[in-house]
């Protein structure tokens, strides 16, 4: 299933995942991790949304060494285990190098949505700043919240920027930007 790789944390810590200045090319990733970078660090990922597969969300995630059975594999922190055996990534996942200004390290449950996802939205009428997208996943039938920080699982999105803007969730990022700019 996976190629076993030697695990050397000291060697990985020495590489700070330098940011290529002109590399904005998206690289496809297979559901078993084929095509992922070979160096741990923070990368940008573009993944189809569970609630609207025709739309994608771009977010940052940490790529780290993970023990899987007797092997060590390099996988992003948003992977999931299927049937207690297979490490899986969502179909349609792509990655690219982080951009200048992106964090060098993220926690295991930190997945900031790329600020560019809000491009096209008008500035906040109160603070005049460009808003940032936040989200959550809820059960459609009763409104209960799921505990997840992974953006491609979200089915409600809203903007945050200043204390004057309240949570006004929309079902997709495109609907959020459209409604925000129609005010």
pLDDT digits (tens, 9 = 90+) for 148-182: 899 999 999 999 999 898 899 999 999 999 999 88
CA 126 to each of CA 116, 131, 140: distance values in angstroms, whole numbers, following the listed order: 21, 11, 32
d(CA 139, CA 127): 33
Q: How many separate domains does the chain show?
A: 2
Residue ending a domain, among 67, 97, 127, is 97
pLDDT, residue 24, reads 79
Q: Which two tokens stand for residue 22?
A: 């002109």
2 assigned to some structural domain: no
* Same-domain status, 83 and 138: no
Write the pLDDT tens digit of every residue in 9-31.
333 433 344 444 455 799 999 99
* Same-domain status, 61 and 130: no
**Which residue range(s) make up the domain with 153?**
115-181
136 assigned to some structural domain: yes
3-state secondary structure of 42: strand
- DSSP H/E element including 160: strand 156-160
């Amino acid at each position: 299933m996976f190629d076993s790789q030697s695990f050397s944390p000291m060697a990985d810590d020495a590489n700070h995942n330098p940011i290529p200045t002109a590399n904005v090319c998206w690289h496809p990733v297979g559901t078993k991790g084929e095509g992922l970078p070979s160096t741990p660090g923070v990368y940008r990922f573009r993944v189809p949304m569970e609630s609207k597969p025709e739309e994608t969300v771009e977010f940052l995630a940490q790529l780290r060494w993970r023990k899987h059975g007797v092997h060590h594999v390099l996988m992003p922190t948003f992977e999931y285990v299927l049937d207690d055996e297979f490490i899986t990534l969502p179909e349609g996942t792509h990655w690219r190098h982080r951009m200048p200004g992106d964090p060098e390290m993220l926690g295991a449950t930190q997945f900031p949505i790329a600020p560019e996802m809000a491009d096209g939205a008008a500035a906040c009428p109160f603070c005049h700043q460009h808003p940032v997208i936040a989200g959550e996943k809820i059960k459609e039938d009763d409104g209960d919240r799921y505990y997840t920080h992974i953006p491609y699982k979200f089915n409600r999105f809203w903007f945050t920027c200043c204390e004057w803007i309240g949570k006004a969730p929309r079902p997709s990022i495109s609907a959020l930007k459209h409604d925000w700019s129609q005010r």
